[in-house]
Amino acid sequence: MSDSPASADSKGSRIRRYIFFIALLLLFIFIFTRLSEVEEVADSMQQGDWRWLGLALLAHFISLVNVGVSLHVIYHLLGVEESFIRLTVLSITANFLNAVAPTAGISGMSAFLEDARQTGHNPGRVTTAMALYALFDYFSILFMLALGLIALFRRNQLTTTEIIASLIYVLLVISLVTILYLGMRSEKKLHQFLGWLSRFGNKVSNLIIHKNLYDAERAYKFVHEFAHDINEGLREVRHSPNGLILPVFLSLTNKIFLVMVLAFIFLAFGQPITLGTLIGGWSIGYLFRIVSPIPTGLGFVEGAMTLTLTSLRVSFANAVVITLAYRGITFWVSLGYGLIAFRFLSRSRRSRSSKKNLLLPEEKPSKQFCENDTAENSNPAEPKT
C-alpha cells in the first residue's frame, strides 16, 4: 500500500530535519577543531575600525549576490528559469557544504542537482551551468592572477613556489576547457577523457596518501552521467554564444568586489593602499585557496597571503591582522551565511512540497465503495418493459 501525500510529506520533512542537524553538527565540529583560528580572527577584528569593516562586509555580501546573478544569467542562457535570489541561496549553501563536508566539490554540486530534481529542471542543463560558471570563474581568477604576478615580478618578489602554484592552476583551467570542448564535440570522447582523469587522480592519490581519491565504480557512473549531461546542455550554448559575455563580466566584477573587501580591511587597520599590493596579496591568497590540498585552503591561504603582503612592504604584524580579518569575513562569516541559507532552503523545499500535495487530484474511491454506491442507487424492483 502506497503512502499518502501527507505521510510522504511528513517523512520528507523528518529527513530534511535530520540533514539540517547533521550539517549543524558538522559545522560545530569544524569550528571546534579550529577554535584557535576563530579566536585569532575575533581578536583581529576587534582591533579594526568598524566603519571600514562594515563596508568590507557589505562588499562581501554583494559578491555573494553577484554569484547568484551570474548563475541566473547562465541558467537563462541554457533555457532554465530560476530566480537569482534562490540561486544566491543555493550558491551560499553549496559553499557551506563544501566547507563542512568536503568531497572534492561534490557536496556543493549535489545541492544544485537536488534542487533541480525538486523543481523539475533538467539536470543536464544544471550540470552544464555549473561547469560554465566554474570556467568563467577560473578565467577571471587567471586574469587577476596575471596582474598579481606582474606586480610581484616588478618588485622582484616572485618566488618559485608562486610560479609552481600558478602552473598547477593553469593546468586546472586547461583541463576544464578540454572537458567543455569535448563535451560540445563528442560525448564518447569526453567520457574517455574523464575516465582517464579519474584513474590518474587515483594513481597520484595512492602515491601521496596511499588510498584512492575516487571509488572506481562510483567514478565510472558519475563520469558517464556527467559526460551525457554536459553534451546535452552545451547544445543550447551553440545557438547563442554571445550570451556568454555577460557571465564573464559578472565573474570579473565578483573578483573586484573581493579585492574591495581587502582594500576596506587595509583602511580599517590604517594600512596605506597601493594597487599592486592589493592585487598581488589577494591573487596569491586566492590561488592557494584553489591549489591547496586542504579543502577551502585553511592555513595555506593565511600563510601565503601573509608572506606575500610582507614581501610587498606591509609590516609582518599588519599583514597577519589584515589576513586574519579578510579570512574572517570571506570564510568564517560565509559559514554563518551558509548555515542560514541551508535552513532557508530546507524550509522552502518543505513549503513547495506541501503546496504540491495540496494540488494533487483527489484519490479515487475504493472499489468496494463504488460497488456499494452502485447497488444503493440502482432499483432492482423496477418492472421490465
Least confident of 29-38, 222-231, 286-295: 29-38
Which range, of 192-201, 267-276, 315-324, averages the lowest pLDDT? 192-201
pLDDT band at 287 (very low <50, low <70, confident <90, very high): very high
Higher pLDDT, 211 or 31: 211
User: CA 284 to CA 304: how far, in whole Å?
Assistant: 7
Cell output for 115: 534542487
- Rounded distance between C-alpha atoms, residue 312 and residue 238, angstroms: 44
d(CA 101, CA 127): 20
Angle at 35 between CA 32 and CA 41, to 5 degrees: 140
Q: Looking at residues 366-384, what average pLDDT do you find? A: 45
Contact 355, 118 (CB under 8 A): no
pTM passes above 0.95: no
Nearest alpha carbon to residue 41 among 351, 334, 360, 313: 334
Structure confidence at residue 85 (pLDDT): 92
Closest CA to 225 of 196, 184, 195, 181: 195
For residue 276, what are the CA distances in angstroms to 152, 286, 312, 313, 377? Answer: 8, 15, 8, 11, 89
**What letter represents residue 177's amino acid?**
V
What mean pLDDT is reported for the chain? 78
* For range 15-25, the mean pLDDT: 53
143-182 b/e (C-beta count within 10 Å ≥ 16 → b)? ebbebbbebbeeeebbeeebeebbeebeebeeebeebbeb
- 155-184 pLDDT, tens digit per residue, is 898 889 899 999 999 998 998 888 888 777
**pLDDT (tens digit per residue) in 37-85:** 666 666 777 778 889 999 999 999 999 999 999 999 999 888 888 989 9
pLDDT in tens, 78-135: 888 898 999 999 999 888 887 776 555 566 777 888 888 888 888 878 888 888 898 8
Of 290, 365, 322, the closest CA to residue 48 belongs to 322
B/e letters for 371-382, b = 16+ CB within 10 Å, e = fewer, are: eeeeeeeeeeee
Distance of CA 16 to the CA centre of its chain: 20
Say how far apart CA 360 and CA 355 lie, in whole Å.
9
How confident is residue 352, by pLDDT bands cut at 50, 70 and 90?
low
